[in-house]
Structure 1
């Protein structure tokens, strides 16, 4: 199957067609996507800023909950993002901003997984005072912010 045929098949799927044809559904999915991004980036930025020492040690108790909320935001953003892309996937795969966003998201998720792996089975809070934790937090802030910016550029290219 050629890529263009695969893209046409995806765009013709009943769920994807429903998003396009039911008035208000596409904007609702888009709004949920933005809410997922806000939840993800807001929580991750808070964790990263704590890792960088910007918030007091009192914040440590909230870190596991913030990480769980960030994962929920990530799940919402990915699910709704896949739905949004499916509507015009043939267009998106040729959009440099979209491709950049995907690359950045892969790097950001890898950074988060590596930080989690570095913590091992220990509490993430134990990574707080390490140089590796601070570097990962700085990289995380840059990557998630870059993903948001590249996502906004998709509509303009």
Structure 2
């Protein structure tokens, strides 16, 4: 199956057709996507700021695991709701530079978080240990990546028709 055929297949999925035909369903899918992005940003930015040394009285051991899990839930919800929105106009989105930038940044953000969580420096930090340069650099990179993903997401609509 070619890429174009896959995109056409996605656009023909029953839920894609239903969302395309119903302004109300589209509204709910869009609102759910925005709320999931709020969960991501609301979890990741405070965690990244703490890892960079702000809010020093807040223990990383307390907020690190909680905010990481909250961000992961937000990412999962954003992917699900984003796919629903993508399915409405898959051919147009697949050719949209802002969408492609957003997907790339989303992937980089997930990889950055996964790599950080596999390091001994992260495990030490969430046990109350010091915040290593590796942890701090990952937090700074995370802030840049996720902010960029949000900006790219807003840019998508300006490049469609």
Shorter-chain TM-score bucket reads over 0.9
After superposition, the Cα gap between the structure-2 partners of 1:121 and 1:130, relative to the gap in structure 1 and judged at 3 Å, is closer
What TM-score do the two structures reach when normalised by structure 2?
0.90
Q: Which residue of 2 aligns with 1:130?
A: 132
Query: Aligned to 1:141, which of 137, 140, 143?
Result: 143
Is contact 1:101-1:147 (8 Å) kept?
A: yes
Question: Partners of 2:156 and 2:124 in 1: how far apart?
Answer: 37
Gaps of 5+ in 1: none
What corresponds to 2:26 in structure 1? 26
Residues 121 and 131 in structure 2, CA contact (< 8 A), matched pair in contact too? no
Offset, 1:8: 1.6
Q: Residue 53 of structure 1 aligns to a residue in which SS?
A: coil
Tell me the C-alpha RMSD between the 2 structures: 1.7
Q: Which residue of 1 aligns with 2:50?
A: 50
The superposition leaves residues 93-147 of structure 1 with CA deviations (integer Å, 9 ceiling, x where unpaired) of: 1100011111111111111111001138936525751000000000000000000
Q: Alignment partner of 1:58: what SS?
A: coil
Offset at residue 24 of structure 1 (A) = 0.5
Distance 1:95 1:123, change over 3 A: same
Runs of at least 5 residues in structure 2 that lack an aligned partner in the other structure = none
The normalised TM-score by structure 1 is 0.92
- Does the CA-based 8 Å contact 2:121-2:135 persist in structure 1? no
Asked whether the 8 Å contact 1:64–1:124 carries over to 2, the reply is no
